[in-house]
Amino acid sequence: MLKNYVKTAFKVFLRRKFFTFISLFAISFTLTVLMVATALLDHVFGPLPPEVKTDRTLGVYELRWEVEAGDSRSAQDGPISYAFLDRYVRTLPDVERVSIFTHFFSSPVTSYKDGEKIESYLRRTDGEFWKIFEFNFVEGGPFTTQDEKDANFVAVINEATRKRFFGDQSAAGKTVEVDGQRFRVVGVVANVPIFRPVPFADIWVPISTSKTRDHLDRQNLLGGFQALVLARKPSDVPRTKEAFRVSLSRVEFPNPGHTNRLYAQAETFFEAVSQRLVGSKEESHPERLLAVIVGFMILFMLLPTINLINLNVSRILERASEIGVRKTFGASSRTLIGQFVVENVLLTLIGGLIGFILSFLVLQMLTHSGLIQYAEFHINHRIFLYGLLIALFFGVFSGVYPAYKMSRLHPAEALRRRA
Amino acid sequence: MIKHLFKLVWNRKRANILIVAEMFFSFLVLFAVVAFGLYYADSYRQPLGFSYENVWNIFVISRASDPQNVLTTKQMLYQALKDLNEVEAVAGAQTAVPYESNRSRRRHSHRGRSILVEVGRVTDDFKEVLGLKIIHGRWFEKADDALGWDPVIINQRFSREMFGSEDPLGKNIASAKAIREVRVVGVVSDFRKHGELSQSVNFLLERILFQKPSFDNFMIRVRPGAPATFEEKLMAQLQAIVQDWTFHIRPMSQMRASYLKLRLAPLITAGLIAAFLMMIVGLGLMGVLYQNVTQRTKEIGLRRANGATAEHIYKQILGELLVITTFGVAAGTLIIVQFPLLRWFAFISGKVYIISLAISVAMMYLLTVLCGLYPARLATKVHPAEALHYE
């Protein structure tokens, strides 16, 4: 039966080519925009290298510290001090690994090469960092926990930085000078795009090579650091979150006598973002952010949907004779609705296919425009699946009402009309 | 005639309501794009109040636990910058560096009138570095060190909002609880720190004393034609004075370029998407009208047989379309006028709002008429004889 529907549908599409073109144009454009949006979201939040263990990685990104003393209240929030993370996160029980590293800082550091300025984003990390993330090393390897302990001036750089400093030559063993410090390159990794702010950098060096030892100061809870916790398995994640909550409750404050309140969570990156955008200081509400994203997508579909409905409703009478015959021979309204929805979904799927090709082109353009540093967009199976889902939803969403209208045509009336 | 058109539209209300809905939504989209486009174009046209050419910013990350040490180092850096041949002027600035997104705001009041104002803190050479224009009163001067009150410079917008047509000079705008008076000594035409794509805001410049420099940015005016290698030399000089600190040198023209790129990319994307949406709506509308006309052959044939000219038919089809558009546009306008009443999008001025409304209404009618032309012409081709023998 489905085969018959498909056959009829193709006949109908070919009968009025101009209308099929208008519909396809609208459908493929709408789906292109939605698919590109999905691809961008996937590239920001999805499990892509080096962040492949997203299902069991939790971050402690920011801390809010409120102090109350008599009438005066003060609050600070932001990245966290090294000493704090070292004491209360690195000691978490039953986790596979913990890494501490500097947060993403928007000002790059400067180097000069033959009078040319080179700006690089510098991140200071420990050795564990390289075991939580799976960077793709094109040369050499990471620095180790021992390197960090011994304050060795070693660095891992990305391919773009290698090109800037050494052209097309290999970099391992050579030195780079950044921000007035000299590092020996031990490894070169593939570029990580800037919208992956946790692993992103141009140059990674050990924390112990910092210019000062301020980060070891225990007086302040806030500082320039963040931590990642790798749970042993995905099902351990809730337990790890709870362990961090317990750990928070035993924080010693540098100002006894004041009322202190701390807000921080071990959370996924998506949870951290949703807390900033739609959550409160206590809770993150990732489901709200998801609802907002889906809401925006449906809102965007609204206009093309009404457009498609209008077009289809205005074409009902084209099918009058067919509907009349089918009804007189006993087809129920429900079967007819089914048939017309299938037709619409079929058209949407063709539009979706065109949409995929267009999204691919748009993403290629975006990659080559260099608008987003080191961004390389690809279509993967997740994006394909979401795209298919969106196309199906759009097909049903825009097909039900015209199908319903068509099925309501009175058989006698329908047959009376000239085909 | 018009009443009749309304009746015709009303008789087919079931089919028309969906078209009205489509018009309504497209009108909202169109308005949003036009309003934002005009808002940014309008902002771009306004004078910045400063010049960014040959200005460089040096952001300093200081590392020292002793504040006295920080102070003397900054003074040394200032002197070193001043001594450079290629540098014409040096100033210190905090939350006053153009194209940076940080801002500091507070309330100032005068005679019970309290207004939120953005504050930038600068040293005396700031005017020379950024080429600010004093239009009333004076700039900061060395003699201000000895004053028993704090001198501030305000922009014209703040002056107007706080003092109306009164002369702001010498007036105290300190908050009631403040110990020291804060007096206006001068007015600059404007200082649009947040760049070309921002609207002018209330701005106040406060004086930083070099005896206690609490700022993280040195801004320098570089002599025109300084060689490209100057930046490296400058960096080496600064690093030589204090090895531990980190410096970020940025020509302001570069900061401006990346600012524009970052702000314009989403605007252009939104504009392109909206343009495509309008194209879809237009094509769809044309299809629907075409279909309607072919289905109303009988009615049109009857009119032709009764002596209606081709022009009459033309007018009827377009007239009906305009009535439908009017419904959609009217519903949209009803929603759009709620925004200023609810104080949403309050940053868009009333003038821009009204002009955008007018433009989008005009564009909406233009779009529908363009889409209706071909189907309407098709309707005039209906032959009465053929139409009447339809049954």
Q: What are the structural domain ranges in chain B?
A: 2-46+264-388, 55-258
Query: What pLDDT score was predicted for residue B67?
Result: 79
Cβ within 8 Å, pair A26-B243: no
Closest Cα of chain A to B248: distance in Å?
Answer: 7
The answer to whether B58 and B225 have CB atoms below 8 angstroms apart is no
Does A36 have pLDDT greater than 60?
Answer: yes
Of A33, A107, A311, the CB nearest to B59: A107
Of B65, B235, B288, the CB nearest to A314: B288
**What is the spatial distance between Cα A350 and Cα A152, in angstroms, rounded to a whole number?**
58
Of A3-17, B159-173, B187-201, the range with the lowest mean pLDDT is: A3-17
**What is the spatial distance between Cα B234 and Cα B247, in angstroms, rounded to a whole number?**
10
Averaged pLDDT of chain A: 90
**What is the spatial distance between Cα B372 and Cα B319, in angstroms, rounded to a whole number?**
10
**Which of A22, A3, A17, A29 shows the shortest CA–CA distance to A352?**
A29
Does A265 have pLDDT greater than 60?
Answer: yes
Return the structure tokens found at B205.
């410049």
Residue in A16, A19, A22 to test binding to B, most B beta-carbons within 10 Å:
A22
What residues have CB less than 8 Å from A351, skipping those under 6 apart? A23, A24, A26, A27, A28, A30, A31, A391
B60 bridge partner residues? B247
Of A14-28, A212-226, B136-150, B283-297, the range with the lowest mean pLDDT is: A212-226
Cβ within 8 Å, pair A29-B280: yes
Does B379 have pLDDT greater than 60?
Answer: yes
Does A45 have pLDDT greater than 90?
Answer: yes
Question: What would the pLDDT profile of A274-301 be if each residue is shown by its tens digit?
Answer: 988 888 877 888 999 999 999 999 999 9
Question: What is the identity of the amino acid at B108?
Answer: H
Return the structure tokens found at A34.
């939605």
Q: Is B273 in CB contact (< 8 Å) with chain A?
A: yes
Does B226 have pLDDT greater than 80?
Answer: yes
**What is the spatial distance between Cα B355 and Cα B131, in angstroms, rounded to a whole number?**
34
Question: What would the pLDDT profile of A200-209 be if each residue is shown by its tens digit?
Answer: 999 999 999 9
Question: What would the pLDDT profile of A370-399 be if each residue is shown by its tens digit?
Answer: 888 898 998 899 999 999 999 999 999 888
| DSSP string for residues in A265-316 | --B-HHHHHHHHHH--SS---HHHHHHHHHHHHHHHHHHHHHHHHHHHHHTG
Of A125-134, A188-197, A253-262, the range with the lowest mean pLDDT is: A253-262
Peptide bond into A50 cis (omega under 30): yes
**What is the spatial distance between Cα A364 and Cα A283, in angstroms, rounded to a whole number?**
38
Burial (CB < 10 A; 0-12, 13-18, 19+), residue B65, is exposed
**What is the spatial distance between Cα A68 and Cα A258, in angstroms, rounded to a whole number?**
6
Mean per-residue pLDDT, B225-254: 89
Does B390 have pLDDT greater than 70?
Answer: no
3-state secondary structure of B120: strand
Mean per-residue pLDDT, A132-149: 95
Unique residue bearing structure tokens 């040198």:
B249
- Report residue B213's pLDDT band, with 50, 70 and 90 as the boundaries: low
Sign of CA dihedral A244, A249, A254, A255: positive
Mean per-residue pLDDT, B243-264: 90
DSSP B172: B
Task: List residues of A whose CB lies inside 8 A of any B CB.
Answer: 18-19, 22, 25-26, 29-30, 33, 107-110, 112, 115, 117, 179-180, 211-212, 214, 302-304, 306-311, 313-315, 317, 371, 418
Residue in B248, B263, B293, B368 to test binding to A, most A beta-carbons within 10 Å:
B248
**What is the spatial distance between Cα A331 and Cα A328, in angstroms, rounded to a whole number?**
7
Unique residue bearing structure tokens 């309204």:
A333
Of A20-34, B3-17, B113-127, B227-241, the range with the lowest mean pLDDT is: B3-17
Does A419 have pLDDT greater than 70?
Answer: no
Boundaries of every domain in chain A = 2-48+288-416, 62-266
Question: What would the pLDDT profile of A105-128 be if each residue is shown by its tens digit?
Answer: 777 888 888 878 899 999 999 999
Query: What pLDDT score was predicted for residue A226?
Result: 95
Buried b (16+ CB within 10 A) or exposed e, B12-51: eeebbebbbbbbbbbbbbbbbbbbbbbbbeebeeeebbbe
Return the structure tokens found at A177.
């000078």
Cβ within 8 Å, pair B280-A303: yes
- Report residue B339's pLDDT band, with 50, 70 and 90 as the boundaries: confident
Mean per-residue pLDDT, B278-290: 92
Question: What would the pLDDT profile of A150-159 be if each residue is shown by its tens digit?
Answer: 999 999 999 9
* Percentage of the residues of chain B whose pLDDT score is greater than 90: 56
Q: Which residue has the higher pLDDT, A407 or A238?
A: A238
| Residue A188 main-chain phi, psi, to 5 deg | -125, 130
Closest Cα of chain A to B384: distance in Å?
Answer: 18
Helix H or strand E segment including B223: none
**Is the pTM for the entire model greater than 0.80?**
yes
Question: What would the pLDDT profile of B76-108 be if each residue is shown by its tens digit?
Answer: 999 999 999 999 999 999 999 999 888 888 889
Query: What pLDDT score was predicted for residue B310?
Result: 86
Closest Cα of chain A to B219: distance in Å?
Answer: 16
The answer to whether A215 and A241 have CB atoms below 8 angstroms apart is no
Of B22, B65, B276, the CB nearest to A306: B22
Return the structure tokens found at A316.
């009902």
Return the structure tokens found at A63.
């801390």
3-state secondary structure of B114: strand
Return the structure tokens found at A21.
């073109």
Q: Which residue has the higher pLDDT, B52 or B104?
A: B52
Mean per-residue pLDDT, A14-37: 92
Averaged pLDDT of chain B: 89
Does A325 have pLDDT greater than 80?
Answer: yes
**What is the spatial distance between Cα A178 and Cα A165, in angstroms, rounded to a whole number?**
11
Helix H or strand E segment including B372: helix B350-380
Return the structure tokens found at A130.
């390289």
- Report residue B302's pLDDT band, with 50, 70 and 90 as the boundaries: confident
User: Number of helices (H) and strands (E), helices first, in chain B?
Assistant: 12, 10
| Residue A76 main-chain phi, psi, to 5 deg | -130, 145
**What is the spatial distance between Cα B131 and Cα B122, in angstroms, rounded to a whole number?**
13
Does B20 have pLDDT greater than 50?
Answer: yes
Does A174 have pLDDT greater than 80?
Answer: yes
| DSSP string for residues in A167-220 | TTS--TT-EEEETTEEEEEEEEE----TT-TTT--SEEEEGGG-SSSGGG-SS-
Does B306 have pLDDT greater than 90?
Answer: no
- Chain-centre distance for alpha carbon B62: 35
Return the structure tokens found at A259.
């009322």
**What is the spatial distance between Cα B45 and Cα A206, in angstroms, rounded to a whole number?**
48
The two beta strands, B217-222 and B55-61, are antiparallel
What residues have CB less than 8 Å from A357, skipping those under 6 apart? none
Query: What pLDDT score was predicted for residue A417?
Result: 63
Does A219 have pLDDT greater than 60?
Answer: yes
**What is the spatial distance between Cα B158 and Cα B113, in angstroms, rounded to a whole number?**
12
Q: Which residue has the higher pLDDT, B273 or B14?
A: B273
Q: Which residue has the higher pLDDT, B190 or A255?
A: B190
Does A418 have pLDDT greater than 60?
Answer: no
Does A416 have pLDDT greater than 70?
Answer: yes
The beta strand positions in chain B, using DSSP E, are 55-61, 87-94, 105-110, 113-122, 134-137, 150-155, 182-188, 203-207, 217-222, 246-251
